[in-house]
């Protein structure tokens, strides 16, 4: 019987599962605390908080405690008599005047600036470029340099000692910076959105109010709050363009209270607190859109 010689077979090699490459060991990073930055932050916070704290606690002191106690200590017997005294001295009238001037200045300025920024952004002619340059030139003109021409125009228009005399210059000086901010936001809107709405048959007016306006709402809130602060705290125009107490606004009333209350510092500071409450309320209501408006729109 012939024996068949069997050839030796190679041993089977079992494939071992591939192991992932070893990750390099991360070195422990030790961050040094920024002591100088933290100290500077606390100093800056104290610079801001201490005056506000002083105004608030002093407004709740009576006149005798103000001169006899430590100015940085809270009142032993806090009182609201200073606020009542201020409210009895036509503070509500001055508050209403300031509110009318602020609303009457900010709303037209925002609407005109929005439409002007849309025209500057979407326009391609040389005339539009010249108008944009004209708006930018308005930023270089200081308010104090125009007080004499503005006074002459207001007198010739028979608007002297009128609240409208405060609104018109405030609108004019609010438009340039508002157009600059809004136009930067509008340039960030993708062109495809404009083209799609135009293909749907929308007019420029519809595109402006239904597309652009909702997208740049944070910017509109930003310029509205910024212009409202400038108008609310404005002192030069009310001082030059008004005269009678019935047309007096809050900045002028605080100046008048210094002569009326003389050494009654707590009453003056109570008026300061009352005049600042609307600004704090506006910031609390619109702080989210205000922050997003300040941090966006300048990517290009």
Count of CA atoms in the C-beta half-sphere (13 A) of 90: 16
pLDDT (0 to 100) of residue 163:
93
Given a cut of 50, whether residue 4 has pLDDT beyond it is: no
Out of 21-30, 90-99, 192-201, give the one with best mean pLDDT: 90-99
Q: Is residue 59 part of a domain?
A: no
How many domains would you assign to the chain?
1
Alpha-carbon span 254 to 17, nearest angstrom: 82
Helix axes 91-122, 163-187, angle to 10 degrees: 40
Residues 6+ apart with CB under 8 A from 102: 228, 231, 232
Q: Which domain holds residue 184?
A: 92-249+277-295
pLDDT range class, residue 240, cuts 50, 70, 90 = very high
3-state secondary structure 198-255: HHCCCCHHHHHHHHHHHHCHHHHHHHHHHHHHHHHCCCHHHHHHCCCHHHCCHHHHHH
Q: Domain containing 228 — which CATH number?
A: 1.10.3720.10
Out of 33-37, 40-44, 74-78, give the one with best mean pLDDT: 40-44
Given a cut of 50, whether residue 135 has pLDDT beyond it is: yes
In the structure encoding, which two tokens stand for residue 172, read together? Answer: 């004019």
Q: Which residues of the chain form beta strands (DSSP E)?
A: none
pLDDT (0 to 100) of residue 127:
78
Q: Is residue 165 part of a domain?
A: yes
Alpha-carbon span 179 to 166, nearest angstrom: 21
Q: Is residue 96 part of a domain?
A: yes
Q: Is residue 82 part of a domain?
A: no
Mean pLDDT of the chain: 83
Q: Is residue 164 part of a domain?
A: yes
Q: Is residue 118 part of a domain?
A: yes
Given a cut of 50, whether residue 144 has pLDDT beyond it is: yes
Residue-wise pLDDT for 58-105, tens only, equals: 999 888 888 888 888 887 788 888 999 899 988 999 999 999 999 999
Residue written as token pair 């503070």? 91
Alpha-carbon span 226 to 217, nearest angstrom: 14
Q: Is residue 49 part of a domain?
A: no
Query: Which of residues 19 and 210 earns the better pLDDT score?
Result: 210
Alpha-carbon span 38 to 110, nearest angstrom: 39
Q: Is residue 148 part of a domain?
A: yes
Residue-wise pLDDT for 281-295, tens only, equals: 887 777 776 666 655
Alpha-carbon span 59 to 171, nearest angstrom: 34
pLDDT (0 to 100) of residue 103:
94
Nearest to 178 by CA among 289, 300, 297, 299: 297
Give the rounded distance of the alpha carbon of 151 from its chain centre: 29
Alpha-carbon span 297 to 285, nearest angstrom: 21
Please compute the mean of the pLDDT values over residues 233-252 and round it to a whole number.
91
Residue 106 Cα distances to 72, 83, 114, 134, 172, angstroms: 38, 29, 12, 21, 10
Residue-wise pLDDT for 154-187, tens only, equals: 999 999 999 999 999 999 999 999 998 898 889 8
pLDDT (0 to 100) of residue 108:
95
Given a cut of 60, whether residue 3 has pLDDT beyond it is: no
């Amino acid at each position: 019987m012939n024996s068949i010689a069997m050839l030796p077979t190679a041993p089977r090699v079992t494939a071992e599962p591939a192991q992932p490459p070893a990750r390099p060991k991360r070195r422990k990073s030790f961050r040094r605390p920024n002591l100088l930055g933290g100290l500077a932050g606390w100093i800056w916070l104290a610079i801001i908080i201490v005056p506000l704290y002083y105004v608030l606690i002093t407004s709740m002191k009576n006149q005798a405690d103000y001169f006899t106690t430590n100015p940085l200590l809270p009142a032993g017997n806090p009182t609201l008599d200073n606020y009542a005294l201020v409210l009895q001295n036509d503070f509500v009238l001055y508050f209403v005047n300031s509110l009318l001037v602020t609303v009457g200045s900010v709303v037209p300025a925002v609407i005109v600036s929005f439409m002007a920024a849309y025209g500057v952004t979407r326009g391609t002619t040389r005339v539009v470029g010249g108008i944009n340059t004209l708006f930018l030139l308005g930023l270089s003109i200081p308010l104090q340099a125009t007080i004499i021409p503005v006074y002459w125009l207001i007198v010739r228009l028979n608007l002297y000692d009128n609240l409208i005399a405060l609104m018109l210059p405030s609108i004019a000086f609010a438009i340039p910076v508002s157009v600059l901010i809004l136009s930067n936001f509008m340039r960030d809107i993708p062109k495809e959105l404009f083209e799609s709405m135009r293909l749907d048959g929308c007019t420029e007016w519809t595109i402006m109010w239904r597309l652009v306006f909702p997208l740049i709402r944070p910017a509109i809130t930003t310029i509205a709050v910024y212009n409202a602060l400038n108008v609310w705290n404005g002192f030069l125009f009310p001082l030059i363009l008004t005269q009678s107490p019935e047309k007096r606004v809050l900045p002028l009333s605080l100046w008048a209270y210094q002569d009326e209350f003389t050494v009654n510092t707590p009453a003056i500071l109570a008026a300061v607190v009352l005049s600042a409450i609307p600004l704090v309320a506006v910031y609390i209501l619109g702080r989210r859109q205000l922050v997003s408006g300040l941090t966006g729109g300048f990517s290009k």
